[in-house]
Amino acid sequence: MTGNARVLEVLLVFLRLGCTSFGGPVAHIGYFRAEFVERRRWLPEGAFADLVALCQFMPGPASSQLGMSIGLLRAGPLGMLAAWIGFTLPSAVLMLAFAYGVQTLGDVSNATWLKGLKLVAVAVVAQAVWGMAQSLAPDRPRATLAVAAALIALAVPSSVGQIGAIVLGATAGLLLLPRLTARDASDHVPLGVSLHRGIASCAIILFFVLLLFLPTLAAVVNSQSLRLFGAFYRAGSLVFGGGHVVLPLLQAAVVPGGWVSNDTFLAGYGAAQAVPGPLFTFAAYLGAVMTPPPNGVAGSLIALVAIFAPSFLLITALIPFWDTLRRREHMQAMLRGVNAAVVGVLLAALYSPVWTAGVHTPAGFGLALAAFLALTLWTVPPWIVVVAGALMAAGLGALNFML
């Protein structure tokens, strides 16, 4: 198969997955394993596990990064781009359409369907905290670390507090958590990446240059487009733990400055649960509903590219070195601490802004509890819970129940 044919193949496969992959990042990884390990045999099991480990280590959307990495291995840099476009496009288009719908409706702050979406967001984040705590903070040291991280994030309600919690997790993991034994050399499956290490080094340098100097550049040239790009680039660079954890970073970036109202923010976050593909396409919605221009389609594209740009650079930078890094015990210990801290950051986000903005009455609490029950015990697909929550809230509003 020629290079161009492989790129097209990657695009079409990921476009189908982007249209059908409901259920969040953990479910996405399951879809990818079934497609690329079992069905198509693009990767052996060991290489797939290595990629999953790498994407857990990096900040950003783990399932999107996994797909981009598979595209890179299958068809080179164009394959990585094709995998991202295919997996991201369906949900990005749906979120952009929802953004225009919200704007057409005007002031939605008192709409009952909006209150339903905010209450479902409570259930979705609670489910994420519950599931992640069971796997990432299952013992007393890591559970304690998670609580400490939550307290830091609540005490300093900004990206500084969230970053501080992640740094605490990495430090505590390195110093306090017991070491894990690296896998035997016989279990190591080389990834076979053809990227030159010089390109990888340039990518990591560019990653940090953009992270550190974009805010300064935006201030010097007084460009709202650069401010927008910088805010979403920073969110994509600093969020560990996948899509749900980006919520507090984006909320801190766009709500306090008046770019997006908190009600509109949470409406979009609730709607993002109802679409397939990566939750990071929430950025497309936020870019479109911004008050200051660029907004609309232009703002949506800027925000979407910006939030995924760190993933492109980090994958390019780290995959050539991952075979060596992943076997180091110190790296494994730091990763365990970071994962525990992620649970704490998400727990803090569950309280503020999700709970405080969504739950105000007994009826609202009951609806959120019912949604949580449907997601966790009845394993109802999230998109069904979102639609049902909005409809139930509208029905309760029609019956004069206070939400």
pLDDT digits (tens, 9 = 90+) for 298-348: 999 999 999 999 999 999 998 888 766 766 778 778 878 888 888 888 888
pLDDT tens, 230-273? 999 999 998 765 566 777 788 888 998 889 988 889 888 888 87
Q: How far apart are CA 338 and CA 255, in angstroms?
A: 26
If you search the block for the tokens 């994407």, which residue do you land on?
Answer: 55
DSSP 183: P
Contact residues for 2 (Cβ-Cβ < 8 A; gap 6+): none
If you search the block for the tokens 């979120």, which residue do you land on?
Answer: 95
pLDDT tens, 32-46? 888 898 889 898 876
Residue 189 above 60 pLDDT? no
Q: What does the pLDDT average to over 23-35? A: 78
Q: How far apart are CA 306 and CA 395, in angstroms?
A: 39
DSSP 185: G
Task: Say if residues 349 and 104 touch (Cβ distance below 8 Å).
Answer: no
Averaged pLDDT score across all residues of the chain: 85
Task: Say if residues 318 and 117 touch (Cβ distance below 8 Å).
Answer: no
Which is higher by pLDDT, 190 or 14?
14
CA atoms lying within 13 Å on the CB side of residue 115: 21
Q: Which of 395, 382, 333, 375 is nearest to 145 (CA)?
A: 333
Q: Cα separations (Å) of 393 from 61, 62, 383, 399, 401?
A: 31, 32, 15, 10, 9
- Rounded to a whole number of angstroms, the distance between the first and last alpha carbons of the chain is 57
For 305-349, where are the E strands, in sequence order?
none
If you search the block for the tokens 């959120």, which residue do you land on?
Answer: 368
The answer to whether the bond into 59 is cis (omega within 30° of 0) is no
Full-model pTM = 0.73
Q: Which of 200, 280, 201 is nearest to 235 (CA)?
A: 280
Supply 251's token pair: 């909320």
Q: Cα separations (Å) of 365 from 336, 372, 387?
A: 33, 10, 17
